[in-house]
Structure formats: structure tokens, C-alpha cells
Amino acid sequence: MLIKRREFLQVGSLATASFMVPKFLKAFETGKAVPPGNKVVVILQLSGGNDGLNTVIPVRNDIYYRSRPKLGIEKTKALSLTDEVGLHPELTAFADAFHNGDLGILNSVGYPNPDRSHFRSMDIWQTASASNEYITSGWIGRYLDAQCNGCGKPTQALEIDDILSLALKGNEANGLAFKDPRRLFGTSNEKFFKDISSQHSDHHEEQPVDYLYKTMAETLSSADYIFKQSKAHPSTAQYPNTNLAKDLQTIASLIYSDINTKVYYVSLGSFDTHINQEQQQQRLFKEMNDAVGAFIKDLKANNRFNDVLFFTFSEFGRRVSQNASGGTDHGTANSMFLIGGGLKEKGIINALPDLNDLDEGDLKYKVDFKNVYATVLNKWLSAEDEKILGKKFDQLKFI
């Protein structure tokens, strides 16, 4: 019998071919590609300093409305979570997640002696350093250092971007960044790179250039690996046609494959709303909301929602008072969204920021973000948080 390849592939996914499919792949037909229990973290970085007070809104706080006569979001417009708390009107999927018990909100997350420069504060969040300390490796990178000793492929932490963030750079191991699994390093010279890579042997003693060859070999093999994995069980759900949505769909596809990735990292921005905050935040939140909403639905349909911990962060929040340009300036502490089927604490996890107790017009932090990291590392990724963060930080109870 001669079956043309294309036809075979078409029927292949139907029951006709089920007798040819190995048992372990059959699991996929019941919605389980990789058996549950393989926990992953998905991090969404809101770059530029998202305005937390117009995200999680204290709808009964007079100080909030007095400080923001123009920018304050009215109680009737906000999506009501509780009597006291509303969400930005665009965040419908987050509100749904809240009511379904899939969302936790951590308020006033920050760090001592906050820095108001984007770059510096982002470094502090990404390296998990103190504000007067300069570290050249990221917290996820150091997770890789600790976990990934000797693993051949740097795919344990992936960033959906052209450039790798400091967060994913370790002292020994690095994560890997890619924008599109089909076009990892879309270059006409790719074959040349493969050829020189294959000629390099690592028999001789370790020279500095060997590190480059090692990185190149890992990169090329990971590129193939990621591409294959992304095709193994691609997400077929409906996603909006935005960058973030595409990125999250790529992540979903990889989650359904048996790739070894534990941490996914993706960014959205710019939330640096000094001027015309209303339109800009609204536009970005629409992209975030629709993408995350589709992602949650997709994960649930594939029975993997319990294995995913999704969280957002931003390098800082913004000042309590609006400025004169229809925007807000750089502030300090901020809220974080936590989403997943494995949350032990849901809803509004801790008190809203106290607007009566400000530090020169800025929120005081109540939760150090390093406590969040320690919790995620230890409880979700079963890693040695103390070793990775360089210090013991108390764990929170949300997972």
C-alpha cells in the first residue's frame, strides 16, 4: 500500500492511525501530553513600571481619588472584586480568574531603599540583589546553575524574545532566548555555523574560546530541540493576534510537549506612563488580558492549569499622585498577580497599600519580592532557594 506522505499525516491524527501510535502518545488524545506533575513557572514582566494603583484599585479610598482627580478609576467603572477592591476595566479575564479562585493578588511588593531608575530597579528585580549591591547574574540563571549542572541543553529556562534578560543569565549556565521556534536564528549562515561547530572537539584543554564553542553547540542543538518540541503537541486553541498572545501560545505548546523547560519568561511594555497614561495602560492591558485569558482557557482545556504558576511583576509601581501630564511618575512598591490551579491562597492575599502611610508620596513595601522568589523556587521548583538567593528569605503561603 502506498500512502502519500501528506495524506498519511492528515489521517494520522485521526482514529484510523491510533493502532500505529505508541501508547505513550495516546495519552495526548485524552488531553494529557506530558503527565501532570511537571510544574512550570511562567513569568510576565511588565516593563516600564506599571501603575499598580490603577491596576488593583482601592475603590473606597478617598485619598486615592483625591490624589488622582483625573486619573482615578471610578468605582462604577472598575471590575468589582470585593467591596473595597476593583480591577482595571480591561482586566476581565483576571476578574473571572479571581471569581473562579484561580487568581491571587499580592499587594505592596517591593524592596528596601527603592531605586527609581528603570534600569537599576529592573536589575535589582532580575538579579534579586539588595539596592546597594551589584550582581551580574540573574535569579533564574542561578537557579539554572544550581539545577542544571551538566545538563546538555540550556532549555530549562526560556525567554520568548530576541535578547536574553539578565534574569536568565547565571554564573555558569544561561537560559535561552528565542522569538519564534521556526526562526531561531534566521540567518543565511546557519549551515556554516553548524559545520564549524561540528568540527570543534572538546578533547583539548579548556581554553576561553571553548566556552564560545560550547555555547554555540548548545544553541544550535537547542534550536532544533525547541523547534521539534514546539511541533509535538502544538496548542490549537484560539488566541488573539497580538505578540504577547503568540508568545503565550508558543509557551502553551511547549508545556504540552515533553521539553525540560521549567521557567518561561516573557515581557510586555512599555508601562512607563508619564504622559497619557489612560490610553497607554488600557491598550497594554487589553493585550495582556486577552492573551492571558486565552492562555488560562487553553491550559485548562489541556488539563495543565494545575501545573502552571503564572505571575506578573514590574520594576516599580508609580507615585500615588498623578502628575500634570495625565500620567504618573516613578514610584516604589507594586502589586503582583499570581495565577494557577495550584494556588493555596487566592483572592486578595494581603492588605491593600495604606495610603495614609506614605514615604514622601510613595507606597511603602510590605512584602519583599525576594520572599516571593524564595517561595517559587522552594515550593514550586523544589530548588534550594537559599543557595540561589544567597540568603534565607521567609517563604509565603500562596503555594
Partner 1 sequence: MVPNQLKNQHLMWRAGFGPAADQLEQLQKITPDQLFKALQKASSKKPEYLDATDDYLKGLVRGIQEEGMRKKELDKDEKKNIQQQQRQAIKSLNLLWLENMVDSDQQLREKMAFFWHGHFASRNLNVFFQQQLLDVIRQNALGSFRDLLHEVSKSAAMLNFLNANQNRKDHPNENFAREVMELFTMGRGNYSENDIKEAARAFTGWGANIKGEFVFRKFTHDDGNKTVLGKTGNFDGDNVLDILLEQKQTSSYITQKIYRFFVNDNVDKQKVQWLADRFYKSDYDISKLMEDIFTSDWFYDEKNIGVRIKSPIELMAGIRRILPMKLENEDAQLLVQRVLGQVLFYPPNVAGWPGGKNWIDSSTLMMRMRLPQMFNDTDEFNVKPKADDDQMMGRTDDTKPNVFKGNKTMGKVGKPINAEISWNNYLKSFNSVPREQILLALNNSLLQIKPAYGSAVIDHYADAQNRESYLKTATIQIMSTPEYQMC
Using CB under 8 A, list all residues that contact partner 1: 47-49, 117-120, 123, 132, 134, 136, 154, 161-165, 169, 174-177, 179, 185-189, 192-193, 195-196, 199-201, 207-209, 211-213, 215-216, 218-219, 222, 267, 269-270, 272-275, 324-325, 327
CA distance 364 to 114: 10
- Cell 532557594 belongs to 385
Residue 243 or residue 350: which is nearer to partner 1 going by CB? 243
Beta strands per DSSP E along 47-140: 56-58, 79-80, 85-87, 103-110
Region at 276 (left for phi over 0; alpha for psi -120 to 50; beta for the rest): left
Minimum distance, C-beta of residue 159 to partner 1, in the bound complex (Å): 9
- Tell me the closest approach of the beta carbon of residue 108 to partner 1, in angstroms: 22
With H, G, I as helix, E, B as strand and everything else as coil, classify residue 328: coil
Measured from the CB atom, the residue of 39 and 179 that comes closer to partner 1 is 179
User: Minimum Å distance from CB 324 to partner 1?
Assistant: 7
DSSP for 197-264, please give it. HHH----S---HHHHHHHHHHHHHHHHHHHHHHHHHS---S---SSHHHHHHHHHHHHHHTT----EE
Cβ nearer to partner 1, comparing 129 with 302:
129
Using alpha carbons, list the distances in angstroms from residue 186 to 162, 199, 218: 11, 22, 16
Q: State which residue, 162 or 258, has the beta carbon closest to partner 1.
A: 162
Cell numbers for 94, please give them: 483576571
| Sign of the torsion angle spanned by Cα atoms 118, 124, 125, 126 | positive
Taking the complex as a whole, the smallest distance from the CB of residue 224 to partner 1 amounts, in Å, to 13
173 in Cβ contact with 200 (< 8 Å): no
In the complex, what is the shortest distance from the CB of residue 39 to partner 1, in angstroms, rounded to a whole number?
Answer: 24
Minimum CB separation from partner 1 for residue 115, in Å?
A: 10
